[in-house]
């Protein structure tokens, strides 16, 4: 037991995986047990995707009802519906990319040094012709480009864009945040000599990577 | 027309008041008529550094509330005839003077003096806002220490926000041997972060402490390196081009080399 009913957390949300190794009533009981034991663990209204292709329509409906009594929403990811949803998602994707493009195309250019205690927030990209000093924060929906020394906290892709990058002539920030990832500076005092050439930070393979660039 | 200069730092204990007293005396020695205004209400020290505490009759709060004309509150320095102090109250707090009141007082004084120096309290609250309100330009004092540089950076940002774009930097209490060994920030690091014109580098000098306790600013002590550095700062404020002091301790060998020009 335990293999048949598994809740999985993934990037797209929670998933309920049911294997075809037990009959439906036992599985139903197992789910009920699990939900009872983790009562209050799931927030009301949480959407859970169902991954169980072997179940038929009535069984799925039964499961949906079961989850409803716990205040949870079960979503089917069956193949027939998948196709429909894909089409819908594609439409949405086009809309959202258009929206995203408009957002990232917006470029804020700041011709001054951002000092300790100052903050720049933009939903597009940010270019700073000056330094970003320690104690300053830059938050951008898109990319961040510092034409000077970057010593503050920079957050690119603040709305979840994992393709966002941070560039600087001297990239020695307290923290680099891209989308939902954070990298922090080493504990030693960093000077310009530690970053003598322009660099770019981006997400690659689940971590933030720094790379030298030409410009 | 006189120049109103505010001396500020953000962080406490970096030497705002010492700098104010020394620049004031230095400008006065050069024949300028100088007024020093202490705005650190409740925690006044400028009078002590100048040795004028026993001569105070009225203070800045009396002036801004209109009890007396400003001239009555001015204290003339005992040695330097054209140096005056406008002390503040030790009993009241920062809320008893606001920016507009200080602007009014400075405007009355402008015709009378060549330089008006305002000694700013530490912090970025009401006292700071009051002190910078009347200033034509600002001198930010800092130390080669990350906390002091960080606060100076914040203060420069605040000054910019208040449309005071004319800002100069003094780095105080530099210990050259610590800078050389890498235990203290060097001038390049500081200039790189703060990016404003530096008009002074003052070494850490024990004579500053003794002169503070004696009420006699160190600038009049010819033997003191800090005194020389302050003298150079005064020269630069007056528009002279003076190179920065090299106050690294020299070995006998170095001195010999210098004498022999090799």
Of the pLDDT bands very low, low, confident and very high (cuts 50, 70, 90), residue A82 is very low
Q: Are A187 and A174 in contact (CB under 8 A)?
A: no
Mean pLDDT of A7-33: 76
Q: The domain spanning residue A202 has which CATH number?
A: 2.160.20.70
**What span, in angstroms and rounded, lies between the C-alpha atoms of A145 and A127?**
5
Contact residues, chain A, for B151 at CB < 8 Å: 116
Instruction: Residue window 91-150, chain B: list those with CB within 8 Å of chain A.
Output: 146, 150
Residue A43 located in a structural domain: yes
Q: Is residue A60 part of a domain?
A: yes
B262/B252 Cα distance (integer angstroms): 14
In a domain, A93, yes or no: no
**Helix (H) and strand (E) counts for chain A?**
3, 15
> Structurally, how many domains does chain A consist of?
2
At residue B137, the pLDDT reads 92
Query: Residues of B with CB below 8 A from A116's CB?
Result: 150-151, 153-154, 157
Residues A188 and A195: their CA atoms lie apart, in Å, by 14
| Residue that is last in its domain, among A77, A95, A119 | A77
Q: In the structure, what pLDDT confidence band is assigned to residue A81 with cuts at 50, 70 and 90?
A: very low
Q: Does A181 fall in a domain?
A: yes
Which residues in chain B have Cβ-Cβ distances shorter than 8 Å to A131?
192-193, 195
Q: Is the domain B3-260 a CATH 2.102.10.10 member?
A: no
Say how far residue A53 (Cα) sits from the centre of its chain. Answer: 28
- The CATH number linked to A28 is 3.30.750.50
DSSP B145: S
Residue A28 domain flag: yes
Q: Determine the residue among A112, A115, A148, A153 to mutate to test chain B binding: the one whose Cβ has the most chain B Cβ atoms within 10 Å.
A: A115
Q: List the structure tokens of A188.
A: 């030693």
Q: Tell me the CB-side half-sphere exposure of residue A42, using CA atoms within 13 A.
A: 26
A180 shares its domain with A145: yes
Determine the average pLDDT of the residues in B61-87.
95
Domain range holding A156?
Answer: 104-212
pLDDT bin (cut points 50, 70, 90) of residue A156 is very high
Query: Residues A56, A109: one domain?
Result: no
- Segment A101-138, tens digit of pLDDT: 665 578 899 999 999 999 999 999 999 999 999 999 99
Cβ-count burial A14-42 (b if 16+ within 10 Å, e if not): ebbebeeebebeebbebbeebbeeeeeeb
Measured in angstroms, the CA of B149 and the nearest CA of chain A are apart by 10
Q: With cut-offs at 50, 70 and 90, classify the pLDDT of residue A61.
A: confident
Closest CA to A162 of A196, A205, A215, A211: A205
When pLDDT is averaged across residues A132-159 and rounded to a whole number, the result is 95
Q: Are residues A68 and A136 in the same domain?
A: no
User: Of A28, A61, A77, at which residue does a domain stop?
Assistant: A77
DSSP state letter for B66: T
Q: Do A133 and B193 touch (CB under 8 A)?
A: yes
In a domain, A85, yes or no: no
Interface of chain A against chain B, CB under 8 Å?
A: 112-113, 115-118, 130-131, 133-135, 149, 151, 189, 191-192
**Do A32 and A109 share a structural domain?**
no
Mutation pick from B9, B157, B183 vs chain A, by most beta carbons of A within 10 Å, is B157
Query: Based on the domain organization, do A134 and A62 belong to the same domain?
Result: no
Same-domain status, A126 and A166: yes
pTM above 0.95, yes or no: no
Record the tokens describing residue A206, joined without a space. Answer: 């689940």
Inter-chain residue contact B154 with A191, CB threshold 8 Å: no
Mean pLDDT taken over chain A = 81
Among the three residues A77, A93, A120, which one is the final residue of a domain in this structure?
A77
Interchain CB distance below 8 Å, A134 and B192: no
Chain centroid to Cα B70, Å, comes to 22
Note whether A125 and A186 are same-domain residues. Answer: yes
How many other C-beta atoms lie within 10 A of the C-beta of residue B57? 11
Residue A208 lies in a domain: yes
Q: Which residue of A112, A133, A189 is in closest CB contact with B153?
A: A133
Same domain, A132 and A201: yes
If you measure CA to CA, which chain B residue comes closest to A190?
B189
The nearest alpha carbon in chain A to B156 belongs to A115
Q: How confident is the model over A195-204, as pLDDT tens digits?
A: 999 999 999 9
């Amino acid at each position: 037991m335990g293999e048949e009913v598994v809740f999985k957390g993934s990037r797209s949300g929670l998933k309920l995986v049911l294997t075809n190794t037990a009959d439906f009533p036992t599985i139903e009981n197992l789910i009920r047990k699990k939900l009872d034991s983790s009562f209050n663990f799931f927030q009301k209204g949480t959407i859970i995707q169902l991954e169980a292709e072997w179940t038929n329509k009535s069984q799925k409906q039964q499961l949906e009802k079961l989850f409803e009594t716990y205040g949870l929403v079960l979503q089917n990811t069956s193949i027939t519906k998948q196709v429909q949803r894909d089409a819908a998602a594609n439409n949405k994707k086009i809309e959202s990319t258009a929206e995203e493009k408009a957002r990232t195309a917006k470029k804020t250019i700041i011709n001054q040094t951002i000092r300790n205690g100052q903050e720049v927030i933009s939903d597009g990209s940010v270019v700073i012709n000056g330094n970003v000093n320690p104690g300053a924060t830059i938050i951008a929906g898109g990319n961040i480009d510092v034409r000077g020394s970057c010593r503050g906290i920079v957050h690119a892709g603040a709305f979840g864009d994992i393709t966002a990058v941070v560039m600087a002539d001297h990239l020695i920030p307290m923290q680099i945040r891209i989308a939902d990832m954070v990298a922090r500076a080493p504990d030693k005092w960093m000077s310009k000599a530690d970053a003598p050439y322009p660099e770019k930070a981006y997400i690659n393979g689940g971590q933030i990577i720094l790379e030298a660039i030409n410009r | 027309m006189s120049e109103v200069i505010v001396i500020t730092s953000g962080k406490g204990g970096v030497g705002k008041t010492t700098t104010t007293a020394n620049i004031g005396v230095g400008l006065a020695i050069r024949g300028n008529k100088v007024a020093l205004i202490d705005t650190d209400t409740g925690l006044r020290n400028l009078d002590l550094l100048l040795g004028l505490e026993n001569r105070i009759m009225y203070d800045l709060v009396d002036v801004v509330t209109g009890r007396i004309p400003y001239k009555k509150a001015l204290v003339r320095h005992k040695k330097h005839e054209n140096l005056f102090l406008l002390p503040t109250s030790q009993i009241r707090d920062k809320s008893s003077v606001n920016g507009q009141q200080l602007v009014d007082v400075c405007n009355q004084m402008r015709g009378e003096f060549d330089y008006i120096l305002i000694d700013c309290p530490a912090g970025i609250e009401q006292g700071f806002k009051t002190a910078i309100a009347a200033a034509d330009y600002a001198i930010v004092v800092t130390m080669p220490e990350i906390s002091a540089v960080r606060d100076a950076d914040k203060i420069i940002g605040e000054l910019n926000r208040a449309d005071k774009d004319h800002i100069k930097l003094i780095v105080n209490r530099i210990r050259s041997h610590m800078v050389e060994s890498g235990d203290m920030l060097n001038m390049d690091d500081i200039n790189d972060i703060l990016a404003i014109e530096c008009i002074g580098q003052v070494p850490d000098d024990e004579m500053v402490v003794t002169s503070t306790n004696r009420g006699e600013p160190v600038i009049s002590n010819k033997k003191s390196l800090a005194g020389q550095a302050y003298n150079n700062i005064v020269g630069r404020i007056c528009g002279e081009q003076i190179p920065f002091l090299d106050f690294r301790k020299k070995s006998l060998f170095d001195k010999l080399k210098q004498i022999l020009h090799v």
